[in-house]
Every structure is written in C-alpha cells, then in structure tokens.
Amino acid sequence: LNVLVDDTRVRVSRDALTAKVVDPAHVAMAEVRLGDVVDAFQRAPGVASREFDPFDVGLDVDKLSDLFKKAKKDEMIRVKMDLPDPSGRDRLTFHVGGMTREMPALDTDGMSDPKVPTLDALHGTFEVAGKTLYEAVRPCEVVSDHTVLTLTKDGLNVYAEGDVDKVSLDLNGSEIGAVSVLNGEPVRSIFPLDYLQKFLKVVKDERLTVRLGTDYPVCITWDGVTTGTYLLAPRIESDAY
C-alpha cells in the first residue's frame, strides 16, 4: 500500500485485515486482504466477550512498512490495539521478536472508503508470474515514462517509445498462460510506468491474473500471502505510439 498512500483505513474482522486505497492523483487504487496469516484475536480482560464486531483503524503505512522490514521471515508479529486507551488516545503496540513499538492510531474520519468498480470492457486476460511481468516492463524506463501493453491471442507485447529510442518485448509460450481475447481481437492500452513498476516490484513473488481492455484500466489480481486487486488508469492519447 505504501506505493500509493501514506496512511490508510484498515477494516479489522475476526478472520482478516482489509484495506482499500486510492492514490492522491486518482490514477491507481488497490484492495488488499490479509487473511490466512491472521492467527487470532483476543479481547483484553474486562472487555465483554460478545461476538467480535468488525471495526476500522487508521494506520500510518510508512511507519508500518519500516517496522515490518525489521521482522525476520516467518516471524510472528503481535499487535495490541487500545481503542481508546485510558488517556483517550487510540494506541497501537507492535511486538516483533524482542522489539516493542508503540504508535498512535490515526483518525479515520477524513479517510476515503473507495469502491472497487466493475469493469465489463476488459476483454483480454492472461496469467503471469509477477517477476516475469516486472522484468518485462523494466527496460522501458530508460526510454519513456509510459509503456504500451498489447494482448493478442498469441501473447503479450510490452512496448515503449521515446524521442529517439524504442523498446519492445514479447511474452508468450511458457512465460504466460490462460491467454484469452474476446473474438480474437487485440486489446491495447498505455500506462504510466512508475505506477506499474512500483506495484509489480511489490507483488513479483505472486502469480498474477491480468485483465486488459483498449483504453481501459488494467486490473491485476492475486491470491497468495495476501489477496488483492490493483487497478491502474490508462493514458488516453490517440496519437501516442
């Protein structure tokens, strides 16, 4: 989430943590669910043990990212939420190994709760390893700040063009799977490279399902350690490339 926003509203339920965010420029949005690795929720002593009611908490994404980088792989992170604590301020306490980190929860009143739109005009679909797609778009950065994704029944073409340079790369065969385009018609859209690269770097260990349309947002979903959806708006230019 930190590739899009500095803070976020997280819905806490008995079996998952869920966040939906839109970047300030409204170019990209993401919905991420952390479910299988959420171990257990317990109420503090003295708190009614009625059925667990979902609630929202505001989190500083940059602080959390820095904290989680200090955790070892597969290390359990224990979170205590005092909402509110006796001082009247919402507090979060994170236990990572031998380290304890306290921070305030953020006020969620001014935070958006975006709705993930239904995109029926995405007529092209394929599956690909996140790392494969990330490595495919990386060469474009030395040529342009945008990249063109074109999907045909034979595979995906990644293309960028600058003032004097061009780069083109094809993914097909064993590199991508489950390729489908409606009526065999190619789909093609132009996307901002910085958004796409930053996102793909985060999910490069995931298996991605990518849906494309012509001059429509790209929709990328995954179901691994986290489950999520990422939408990126296209650049509309009739004379581009």
State residue 93's pLDDT score. Answer: 86
Torsion, CA 103, CA 104, CA 109, CA 112, rounded to 10:
0
Is residue 174 classed as helix, strand or coil in its secondary structure?
helix
Give pTM, 2 decimals. Answer: 0.85
Sequence-distant (6+) residues with CB within 8 A of 28 are: 4, 22, 195, 199, 230, 231, 232, 233
Q: Please say whether the beta carbons of 177 and 126 come within 8 A.
A: yes
> Cβ distance 1 to 62 under 8 Å?
no
* pLDDT mean by block of 10 residues, the chain; 241 residues: 85 84 92 72 52 77 84 78 62 84 84 79 93 96 95 95 93 90 92 95 94 94 90 76 52
- pLDDT (0 to 100) of residue 67: 82
Name, in order, each residue with C-beta under 8 angstroms of 117's C-beta and a sequence gap of 6 or more: 231
Residue 103 pairs in a beta bridge with 92
pLDDT at position 49: 46
Spatial distance between the Cα atoms of 5 and 215, rounded to a whole number of angstroms: 25
Q: Say how far apart CA 241 and CA 238 lie, in whole Å.
A: 9
Task: Check if the beta carbon of residue 214 is closer than 8 Å to that of residue 240.
Answer: no
